[in-house]
């Protein structure tokens, strides 16, 4: 079969097998001429006369090879005395892939030793014929699925009757051309039909020779069909180089050209499956066989077209890419010869050298050495290697850093003071510290980096202070937040061996700002996380140590970096949350928060102005009174910062914006409706204020305006401001015409009168809702057993009451029960206060058995708020004594301080916050421990103004202040 010979899986015939054809006369039929006219190879076909008994080989060559073939004798076909039709019993050879057609070669492999010996014996006894029959598919199998070697294995395993049942009835009488090992070359001769089985091993069958049915050679339908087959074969041979190159293998023919042989030829070389080929082999009617073959070659033609289109598309794609590649390579070579461009590695190296050249004098020697080594390595690496990209990225970072480049600092103290005052109100401690830093830098001629930590409640402006400091110093500003940071690589960088490795935040900062002395704001340093990737707080130790950061080592760069000129500003809400080793390296500047006066200035000078501009509202359109601002601060925004105050101001201005827009739309609608009135029913007049008014006639009443009363006329007036240059209408001029003219010409310049929005204390609730906070003073007249204390919170300071009451009284029932969601430290303070109060009571009133016989309940209000700390000790003691002696404490008295068992008063924290809380509650007298005198003296004068502060060392001093004879009356005289 031709297809088997053409495929890569078919072995080519040995040189000794190819028959030498004897000369014969070329046929002159039109079909021969059509096939012979094809170029690109030698064409072979079959012809026959009668039954084809005398088989001869005949070659038709399209070129000069025809003459050569006519000169060589033929000796391939074995001459036999008996004729092929005399063989009625033959060995049955199974074919697994395709049937064998008459006139074609087919190599098969015979694994059965007995069958191979029988074939060899038949050839040696001058009976070289066997029957080749196609093997049927296994029941239930898909014939379109190729099973490969498994199918061959199944063929070899079949024996005897099982094999006989699997063979198709119609096959081909095949001449055994040669045997080489287990390979047998068969040449098809004529069709056979199995009659019965003769023997099983090897399988021998009795056959009947089949002849084609009689047909009329001059039948037009047969001629037309055969011509179409030849035409289609010609087209296929043109498109398929595979067929064109191997069609010459069809060298077997018997006699002259016949239509049956043409049908066999087309079916044999087609790519149809074995069942379709078997159908052609079994068909004895010539016309039907030609039709079946025509279907197969037509399908082959379509496959060839698809193959050609696929090949063309792939070829165009490959040729386009190759052409582009060649042109690019030629372009590179031309540019390189002309000196216009170098290759990628040379250009990359040149870029890095050009980038580092201006910094070479300022760059540290160890960094220059690393850069030169990496540049040399880059030249030796292949551009496609992974190490090349790692080295390129490393050099990119090394050469992009500002080695030795510093921004010019401004040491003008007056300018810095002005900038700090412009951006922030108050914050004297922070401003003084920055001005000190600038003064030292001016005297030294150079500035040294410091680590400053701004601590305070949220919203006091810690982050914005850092930006203002950078502007005052003329330094570049870089901020990164470490809140929740759990990966050390964010600070120290990754190792270069990792995929996607990057330097740490400090190296990224230096690359972004372009200078080696920026101001770096590390935000939320008290909220550092700790995860599986290390402890970032420990990694910051090297970065924030003034003695170590001159040689900061990033894991990615792996070269020391000088960060000694960087000014680090850290922010934190609670200093106690910062690890002690890290806190030790920083200079803490506390920002306690803002008092009411400071909030008023900030709201008026900063927040309100910026919010008004952001809302698109003009200053003349809205007015917010001081009383409204004060109420907003006292009742809605009592926290230490101003962030919540800004939110409330923004809320107010958003509502004002909506109100103004709605008012403007209403006026627009009114003007539009006034202008849409018919001219005869409208006239324009001027009121006493100089504003022109449109008088609308009632459409339901009389058309005469004089018949309507004045009130109705006033109700129908619509106020419209005309341009300044507009003059009143003359009495003799038509008002109808002027109104129409004004609406057309002066529409764009027309302005609308919008009422100014006034925000006062009375209507503040309409914009921000009901008050959130109420007065801290629960009692105007503090009763017995109640004392006001001062507390510190992360949001600022606040006042709280300590309340004590008698539960029951009886002999030996002395006890104390405390509530109010108190922490462990505060619970211990209640026990200490109880003990101290009993000692003081014994000292002051020896005969009073109150504590020994009374069960007491001490409560701290706001039970939903957790409270802890020792500073309420003196307040609890005073509350217990007030109840025991049945004397209320002095009005407007607040106290704070930790008490010991001996009555000593220890210092506390948050003096400023507690002082602000006392002023907010209108407290006049405050008791502080003596150790906190210095903290109070450092407060701003406006914070201390109007307060009577007493500093005590022992609780007995507090007792005299709270229960003295001259102060014991809790009434105002």
Half-sphere exposure of 194 (CA within 13 A, CB side): 24
Cα–Cα dist 906/929, whole Å: 6
- Cα distances (Å, whole numbers) of residue 909 to 2, 63, 575, 896: 104, 115, 12, 10
Calpha distance 156→142 (Å, rounded): 20
246 closest CA partner among 1, 495, 612: 1
Phi, psi angles (nearest 5°) of residue 914: -70, -35
Q: What stretch of H or E contains 630? A: helix 626-635
Q: Which helix H or strand E contains 129, and what residues bound it? A: strand 129-134
CATH number for 786-963 (one of 3.30.230.10, 3.40.640.10, 3.10.20.90, 2.60.120.200): it is: 3.30.230.10
Residue found by looking up tokens 């004089």 in the block: 706
Tell me the angle at which helices 220-239 and 259-269 cross, rounded to the nearest 10 degrees.
30
Reduced to 3 states (helix: H, G, I; strand: E, B; else coil), residue 617 is coil
pTM: 0.55
Locate all alpha helices (DSSP H) within 111-213, ordered by sequence. 113-124, 149-157, 160-166
- Specify the domain boundaries for CATH 3.40.50.300 within the chain: 413-590
Instruction: Tell me which residue has tokens 């794609």.
Output: 317
Q: For residue 855, list its beta bridge partners.
A: 808, 815
**Backbone conformation region of residue 436, classed left if phi is above 0, alpha if psi is from -120 to 50, else beta:** alpha
CA dihedral 778, 783, 784, 790 (to 10 degrees): 30
- CA nearest 858: which of 910, 773, 789, 956? 789
How far is 514 from 508, CA to CA, in rounded Å?
10
CA-based Rg of the chain, rounded to a whole angstrom? 55
- The backbone torsions φ and ψ at residue 584, rounded to the nearest 5 degrees and listed phi first, read -65, -25
Question: CATH 3.30.230.10: which residues of the chain?
Answer: 786-963
Provide the 8-state DSSP code for 792.
E
Alpha helices in 424-461 (DSSP H): 428-444
Contacts of 946 (CB under 8 A, 6+ apart): 919, 924
Q: What span, in angstroms and rounded, lies between the C-alpha atoms of 935 and 932?
A: 5
Residues contributing to the annotated binding site for ATP: 456-463
CA atoms in the 13 A half-sphere facing the CB of 213: 10
By C-alpha distance, which of 447, 445, 443 is closest to 472?
447
- Residue 94 CB contacts under 8 Å (≥ 6 apart), including other chains: 133, 134, 135, 155, 158, 163, 166, 167
DSSP annotation of 697 reads: P
Element of type H or E holding 717? strand 717-720
Beta strands in 575-654 (DSSP E): 587-590, 622-624
Q: Write down the pLDDT at residue 165.
A: 79
Distance CA 342, CA 786 (A): 89
Tell me the backbone φ, ψ of residue 306, rounded to 5 degrees. -60, -40
- Token digits of residue 925: 């007298």
pLDDT for 521: 93
CA distance 174 to 99: 11
Beta-carbon contacts of residue 374 (< 8 Å; ≥ 6 apart): 391, 394, 395, 398
| Structural element, H or E, at residue 465 | helix 462-473
DSSP states along 200-260: TTTTEEEEEE--PPP--TT-HHHHHHHHHHHHHHHHHHHH-HHHHHHGGG-----SSB-HH
Asked if 679 and 740 touch (Cβ cutoff 8 Å), the reply is: yes
Which residues line the annotated binding site?
A: 456-463
Across the 973 residues of the chain, what is the mean pLDDT of every consecutive 10-residue run? 34 35 35 39 35 34 34 40 72 85 82 83 79 80 55 64 82 86 84 84 83 81 83 75 56 55 78 79 82 83 83 83 85 76 72 86 89 87 84 90 87 90 85 88 80 87 88 90 85 86 90 91 87 79 84 89 89 88 88 81 90 89 89 84 90 91 81 63 42 39 40 39 40 44 44 72 88 70 88 76 89 87 91 92 88 91 82 92 90 90 90 84 89 88 86 92 60 37
* CATH 1.20.58-classified regions of the chain: 220-310
Question: Does 813 qualify as catalytic in the annotation?
Answer: no
Rounded (10°) CA dihedral 135, 139, 140, 141 = -20
Residue 914 annotated to the active site: yes
Of 178, 468, 871, 879, which is the active-site residue? Answer: 871
Measured CA to CA, the distance from residue 861 to residue 166 in angstroms comes to: 102
- What does CATH list as the number for 220-310? 1.20.58
Torsion angle, alpha carbons of 289, 290, 292, 296, to 10: 130
Q: List phi, psi (to 5°) of 792.
A: -110, 135
Q: Would you tell me the crossing angle of helices 462-473 and 413-423 to the nearest 10 degrees? A: 150
Tokens of 196: 């019965």
So what CATH class is 413-590?
alpha beta
**Three-state SS for 559?**
coil
């Amino acid at each position: 079969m031709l297809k088997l010979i053409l495929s890569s899986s078919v072995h080519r015939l040995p040189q000794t097998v190819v028959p030498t054809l004897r000369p014969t006369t070329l046929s002159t039929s039109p079909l021969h001429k059509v096939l012979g006219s094809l170029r690109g190879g030698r064409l072979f076909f079959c012809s026959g006369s009668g039954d084809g008994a005398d088989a001869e080989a005949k070659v038709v060559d399209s070129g000069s090879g025809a003459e050569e073939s006519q000169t060589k004798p033929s000796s391939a076909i074995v001459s036999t005395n008996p004729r092929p039709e005399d063989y009625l019993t033959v060995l049955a050879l199974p074919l697994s892939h395709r049937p064998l057609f008459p006139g074609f070669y087919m190599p098969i492999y015979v694994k059965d030793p007995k069958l191979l010996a029988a074939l060899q014996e038949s050839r040696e006894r001058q009976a070289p014929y066997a029957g080749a029959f196609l093997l049927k598919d296994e029941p239930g199998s898909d014939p379109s699925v190729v099973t490969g070697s498994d199918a061959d294995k199944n063929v070899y395993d079949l024996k005897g009757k099982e094999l006989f049942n699997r063979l198709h009835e119609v096959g081909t009488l095949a001449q055994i051309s040669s045997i080489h090992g287990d390979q047998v070359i068969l040449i098809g001769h004529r069709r056979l039909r199995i009659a019965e089985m003769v023997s099983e091993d090897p399988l021998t069958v009795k056959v009947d020779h089949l002849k084609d049915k009689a047909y009329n050679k001059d039948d037009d339908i047969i001629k037309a069909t055969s011509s179409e087959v030849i035409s289609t074969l010609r087209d296929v041979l043109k498109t398929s180089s595979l067929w064109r190159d191997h069609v010459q293998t069809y060298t077997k023919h018997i006699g002259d050209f016949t239509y049956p042989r043409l049908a066999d030829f087309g079916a044999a070389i087609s790519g149809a499956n074995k069942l379709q080929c078997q159908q052609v082999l079994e068909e004895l009617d010539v016309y039907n066989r030609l039709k079946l073959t025509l279907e197969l070659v037509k399908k082959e033609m379509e496959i060839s077209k698809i193959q050609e289109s696929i090949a063309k598309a792939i070829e165009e794609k490959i040729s386009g890419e190759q052409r582009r590649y060649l042109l690019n390579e030629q372009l590179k070579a031309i540019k390189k010869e002309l000196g216009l461009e170098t290759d990628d590695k040379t250009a990359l190296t040149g870029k890095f050298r050009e980038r580092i050249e201006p910094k070479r004098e300022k760059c540290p020697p160890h960094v220059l050495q690393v850069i030169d080594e990496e540049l040399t390595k880059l030249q030796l690496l292949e551009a496609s290697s992974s190490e090349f990209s790692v080295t390129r990225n490393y050099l990119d970072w090394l050469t992009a850093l500002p080695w030795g480049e510093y921004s010019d600092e401004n040491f003008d103290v007056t300018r810095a003071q002005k900038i700090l005052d412009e951006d922030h109100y108050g914050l004297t401690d922070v401003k003084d510290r920055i001005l000190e830093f600038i003064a030292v830098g001016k005297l030294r001629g150079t500035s040294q980096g410091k680590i400053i930590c701004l601590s305070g409640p949220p919203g006091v402006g810690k982050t914005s202070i850092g930006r203002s400091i950078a502007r005052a110093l003329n330094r570049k500003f870089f901020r990164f937040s470490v809140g929740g940071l759990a990966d050390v690589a964010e600070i120290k960088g990754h190792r270069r061996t990792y995929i996607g490795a990057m330097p740490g935040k400090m190296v990224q900062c230096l690359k972004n700002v372009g200078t080696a002395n920026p101001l770096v704001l590390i935000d939320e340093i008290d909220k550092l996380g700790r995860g599986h990737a290390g402890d970032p707080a420990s990694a910051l130790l090297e970065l924030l140590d003034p003695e170590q950061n001159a040689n900061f080592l990033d894991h990615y760069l792996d070269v020391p970096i000088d960060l000694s000129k960087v000014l680090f500003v850290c922010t934190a809400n609670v200093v106690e949350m910062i690890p002690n080793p890290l806190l030790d390296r920083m200079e803490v500047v506390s920002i306690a928060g803002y008092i009411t006066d400071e909030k008023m200035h900030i709201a008026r000078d900063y927040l309100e102005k910026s919010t008004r501009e952001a809302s698109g509202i003009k200053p003349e359109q809205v007015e917010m009174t001081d009383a409204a601002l004060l109420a907003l601060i006292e009742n809605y925004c009592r926290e230490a910062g101003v962030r919540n105050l800004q939110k409330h101001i923004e809320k107010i201005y958003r509502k004002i914006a909506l109100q103004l827009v709605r008012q403007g739309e209403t006026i627009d609608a009114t003007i539009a409706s006034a202008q849409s009135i018919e001219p005869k029913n409208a006239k324009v007049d001027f009121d006493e204020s100089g504003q022109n008014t449109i008088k609308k006639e009632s459409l339901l009443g009389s058309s005469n305006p004089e018949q309507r009363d004045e009130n109705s006329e006033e109700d129908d007036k619509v106020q419209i401001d005309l341009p300044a240059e507009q003059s009143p209408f003359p009495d003799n001029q038509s008002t109808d015409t002027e109104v129409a003219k004004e609406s057309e010409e002066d529409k764009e310049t027309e302005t609308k009168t919008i009422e100014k929005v006034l925000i006062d204390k009375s209507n503040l609730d309409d914009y921000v809702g009901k008050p959130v906070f109420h007065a801290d003073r629960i009692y105007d007249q503090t009763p017995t057993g109640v004392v006001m204390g001062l507390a510190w919170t992360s949001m600022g300071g606040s006042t709280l009451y300590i309340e004590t009451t008698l539960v029951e009284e009886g002999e030996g029932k002395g006890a104390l029960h405390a509530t109010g969601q108190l922490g462990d430290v505060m619970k211990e303070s209640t026990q200490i206060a109880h003990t101290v109060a009993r000692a003081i009571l014994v000292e002051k009133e020896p005969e009073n058995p109150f504590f020994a016989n009374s069960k007491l309940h001490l409560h701290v209000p706001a039970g939903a708020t957790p409270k802890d700390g020792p500073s309420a000790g003196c307040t609890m003691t005073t509350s217990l004594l007030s109840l025991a002696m049945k004397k209320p404490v002095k009005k407007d008295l607040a106290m704070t301080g930790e008490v010991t068992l001996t009555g000593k008063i220890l210092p506390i924290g948050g003096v400023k916050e507690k002082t602000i809380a006392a002023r907010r509650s209108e407290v006049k007298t405050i008791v502080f421990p003596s150790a906190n005198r210095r903290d109070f003296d450092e407060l701003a004068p406006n914070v201390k103004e109007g307060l009577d502060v007493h500093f005590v060392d022992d609780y007995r001093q507090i007792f005299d202040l709270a229960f003295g004879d001259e102060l014991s009356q809790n009434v105002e005289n």
